[in-house]
Structure 1
Amino acid sequence: MNVSTRAAELFAAEHGRAPSAVWSAPGRVNLIGEHTDYNDGFVLPMAIPHRVAVALGPRDDRKLVAATWGDDGQLHQADELVVDDLRPGSSTGWQAFPAGVAWALREAGHAVPGLNLMIVGDVPTGAGLSSSHALQCALALAMLDHLGLPPGDPGAPSLAEIARLVQRSENDYVGAPTGLLDQTASLRCVESHVLFFDVRSGDAEQVPFDPRSAGLELLVIDTRAKHSHSESGYGERRKGCERAADLLGVKALRDISAAQLPAANQKLPDELQPLVKHVVTENERVLSTVELLRSGGYAEVGPLLNASHASLRDDYRVSCLELDVAVDAAVQAGALGARMIGGGFGGSAIALIPTSERARVEAAVRAAFAERSLTEPRVFIAIPSAGAGRDR
Structure 2
Amino acid sequence: MDFREFYGRDPEGVWRAPGRVNLIGEHTDYNDGFVLPFALAQGVTATAARRDDGVLELRSLQSPDAVRVTDLRPREVTGWAAYAAGVAWALREAGHKVGGASVLIDSDLPQGAGLSSSAALECAVGLALCDLYGIEVPRPELARIAQRAENDFVGMPCGIMDQSASLLCTEGHALLLDCRSGLSSQVPLDLTGFSLLVIDTRAEHELVDGGYASRRAACEKAAELLGVPALRDVEDLAAALRVLDDPVLRRRTQHVVTDNHRVQAVVGLLRAGAVAEVGALLTASHLSLRDQFEISWPEADVAVEEAVRAGARGARMVGGGFGGSVIALVPVDRDEQVREAVTAAYAERSWEAPRFLEASPSPGARRVS
Fold conserved between structures, TM > 0.5: yes
Structure 2 equivalent of residue 281 of structure 1? 258
- The structure 1 segments of at least 4 consecutive aligned residues displaced by more than 2 Å after TM superposition are 75-79
SS at match of 1:351: strand
Distance 2:134 2:329 in 1: 43
Distance 1:287 1:186 in 2: 21
Structure 1 equivalent of residue 108 of structure 2? 122
Distance 1:185 1:286 in 2: 15
SS at match of 1:343: coil
Structure 2 equivalent of residue 203 of structure 1? 183
Q: Deviations over 1:88-137 (max 9, x none)?
A: 11111112112111111111111221111100010111101000100000
Distance 1:232 1:53 in 2: 29
How far apart are 1:232 and its partner, in Å? 4.7
Structure 1 equivalent of residue 222 of structure 2? 244
Q: Does residue 1:166 correspond to 2:146, yes or no?
A: yes
Structure 2 equivalent of residue 228 of structure 1? 206
Structure 1 equivalent of residue 352 of structure 2? 375
Structure 1 residues 35, 146: closer, same or farther in 2, change over 3 A? same
Distance 1:18 1:77 in 2: 21
Of 290, 314, 323, which aligns to 1:313? 290
Distance 1:183 1:361 in 2: 31
Q: How many residue pairs were aligned?
A: 368
Equivalent residues of 2:170, 2:361 under 8 A apart: yes
Equivalent residues of 1:176, 1:229 under 8 A apart: yes
Equivalent residues of 2:59, 2:67 under 8 A apart: no
1:321-340 mapped onto 2 (5 Å cutoff):
321-340=298-317
SS at match of 2:247: coil
Of 60, 64, 71, which aligns to 2:56? 64
Equivalent residues of 1:192, 1:208 under 8 A apart: yes
* Gap runs ≥5 in structure 1: 1-5, 150-155
Distance 2:36 2:138 in 1: 20
Distance 2:219 2:7 in 1: 48
How far apart are 1:309 and its partner, in Å? 0.2
Structure 1 equivalent of residue 12 of structure 2? 20
Equivalent residues of 1:219, 1:352 under 8 A apart: yes
Equivalent residues of 1:232, 1:345 under 8 A apart: no
Q: Deviations over 1:316-370 (max 9, x none)?
A: 0000001101101101111110000000101000111110010000000000111
Q: Does residue 1:188 correspond to 2:168, yes or no?
A: yes
Amino acid at match of 1:57: A
How far apart are 1:267 and its partner, in Å? 2.2
TM-score by length of 1: 0.92
Amino acid at match of 2:118: S
Distance 1:312 1:17 in 2: 49
Identity of aligned residues (%): 55
Structure 2 equivalent of residue 292 of structure 1? 269
Structure 2 equivalent of residue 153 of structure 1? none
* Gap runs ≥5 in structure 2: none
How far apart are 1:266 and its partner, in Å? 2.5
